[in-house]
Amino acid sequence: MRTKIAIIGAGPAGMFLAHLLAREGIDAVVLERRDREYVEGRVRAGVLEQVAVDLMDRLGLGARLQREGLVHGGTNLSLDGELFHIDMAALTGGRTVTVYGQQEVMHDLFDAADERGVQIIWNADEVAIEGASTDTPVVTWRSDGEQHELRCDFVVGCDGQHGVSRKTIPANVQREFERVYPFGWLGILAEVPPVEDELIYANHERGFALASMRSETRSRYYIQCDIDEKVENWSDERFWDELCLRLGEEVGARVTRGPSFEKSIAPLRSYVAEPMRWNRLFLAGDAAHIVPPTGAKGMNLAVSDVAILAEAFSEYYGEGSSAGIDHYSARALARVWKAVRFSWWFTSITHRYPDMDGFDRRIQMAEIDYIRGSIPAQRTLAENYVGLPLE
């Protein structure tokens, strides 16, 4: 087989890139290790920045998003049960975020791929990249007991932290930056209406809590937990009790309880690999960077990565210019590091750390109190939360 762009991974980064390239008439093939049902069923992010919403509209994929997505013009912070609102739309010139689960995004991307002839090869096992440092890279894989190969001009690794792409870059070329947080998030999904119209980020003396949602009838709640905590130690009743305590008496009293249908613990980590390009191999999304979910940046960074990369490929094939692909890594990383900084900062002011003493706690409280009383501080938070412009 022969194509111009081989895309490894059919998650958000890979599928957005495939649609962007198809729109420009650039041939691409997507290789995915699992099947569609598995990829579409993964419970992941649920908040889209304006950049991602606009991109779905540009690609003609936004009809269901516009009907079913929940547009949020603000968000809420809580300190020991005292709630205050940040009007993000007013502070950022009308920019908003939209609650629309990653599962729904993937459903839209896959349905449109079938209609538009975007080629996806499912259940591609033992994927390997050969010749990435030459002008003739080859991607190989096994499926149905047979070996296959795909010759291409470029390879884009959208295969996450455990995929083959990042591991293909020589160790003496790549630099890795990491911060592992000493706690996790215990999260549940339940078919109950959300407690508030917009998200609540709660800092409580017992730890962080987040009141979120996937729809007007489906709630997503999280509480900070020990990194070695076990899901089986948490009955629904225990979870609801702890959540309501951390949200505070007034908000907790309004929480609608119900049986959870998904419960899991997610570790928190910041990670960046540099560069995001090595010769004919490019990295995008989780293959290059991970952020804690506090700032809702994971999927949004994947979208901005491939928007930049698709523009670069369009210049390369349409104008014969390699300037875009030569500057892809630096341009993408400039945005990535700003999001990593925001996610780290937002995590630092909302979570309880194991080694925190009274001084650290008072600093946290002062920081949140400053945000409550300062419009410039609220504007800084809002600008980062709704997403910085794609430069």
Beta-strand relationship, 219-225 and 175-190:
antiparallel
Is residue 235 situated within a structural domain?
Answer: no
Express each pLDDT in 178-221 by its tens digit.
999 999 999 999 999 999 999 999 999 999 999 999 999 999 99
CA-to-CA distance for 379 and 340, rounded, in angstroms? 18
On the CB side of 135, CA atoms within 13 Å amount to 0
CA-to-CA distance for 207 and 223, rounded, in angstroms? 7
Is residue 117 situated within a structural domain?
Answer: yes
CA-to-CA distance for 35 and 29, rounded, in angstroms? 15
> What one-character DSSP code corresponds to residue 67?
H
For position 112, which CATH number holds? 3.50.50.60
Q: Of these residues, 100, 181, 201, 316, which one is catalytic?
A: 201
Question: What is the predicted pLDDT for the residue at 265?
Answer: 96
Which of 53, 101, 71, 74 has the alpha carbon at shortest distance from 390?
53
Question: What is the predicted pLDDT for the residue at 2?
Answer: 97
Q: Is 145 helix (H, G, I), strand (E, B) or coil?
A: coil
CA-to-CA distance for 132 and 146, rounded, in angstroms? 23
Question: What is the predicted pLDDT for the residue at 42?
Answer: 80
Is residue 356 situated within a structural domain?
Answer: no
Give me 278's structure tokens: 């090595």
Q: Is 267 among the residues known to form the active site? A: no
Express each pLDDT in 337-354 by its tens digit.
999 999 999 999 999 999
Classify 367 in phi/psi space as left (phi over 0), alpha (psi -120 to 50) or beta: alpha
For the chain, helix (H) and strand (E) counts, in that order, are 14, 20
Is residue 64 situated within a structural domain?
Answer: no
Give the count of domains, the chain. Answer: 1
Question: What is the predicted pLDDT for the residue at 45?
Answer: 74
State which residues form the domain around 173.
5-45+101-178+269-346
Q: Is 351 among the residues known to form the active site? A: no
Q: In sequence order, what E strands does the chain have?
A: 5-8, 28-31, 47-48, 70-72, 75-79, 82-86, 97-99, 119-121, 125-130, 138-143, 146-151, 154-157, 175-190, 200-204, 207-213, 219-225, 260-274, 277-278, 281-283, 289-290
Amino acid at 110: F
CB 213 within 8 A of CB 101: no
Classify 94 in phi/psi space as left (phi over 0), alpha (psi -120 to 50) or beta: left
CB 204 within 8 A of CB 246: yes
Q: Is 327 among the residues known to form the active site? A: no
Q: Is 297 among the residues known to form the active site? A: yes
Q: Which residues pair with 201 in a beta bridge?
A: 77, 210
Q: Of these residues, 12, 293, 328, 351, which one is catalytic?
A: 293
CA-to-CA distance for 189 and 202, rounded, in angstroms? 18
Q: Of these residues, 12, 19, 72, 351, which one is catalytic?
A: 72
pTM (predicted TM-score): 0.96
Q: Is 274 helix (H, G, I), strand (E, B) or coil?
A: strand
**For 4, phi and psi rounded to 5 degrees?**
-85, -45
Is residue 14 situated within a structural domain?
Answer: yes
Compute the CA torsion angle 98, 352, 243, 231 (nearest 10 deg).
Answer: 100
Question: What is the predicted pLDDT for the residue at 153?
Answer: 98
Q: Is 204 among the residues known to form the active site? A: no
Is residue 129 situated within a structural domain?
Answer: yes
CA-to-CA distance for 181 and 158, rounded, in angstroms? 24
Question: What is the predicted pLDDT for the residue at 10?
Answer: 97
Site of tokens 């946290």 = 364
CB 114 within 8 A of CB 121: no
Is residue 310 situated within a structural domain?
Answer: yes
Is residue 128 situated within a structural domain?
Answer: yes
* Spans of the chain below 70 pLDDT: none
**For 25, phi and psi rounded to 5 degrees?**
75, 25
Question: What is the predicted pLDDT for the residue at 41?
Answer: 84
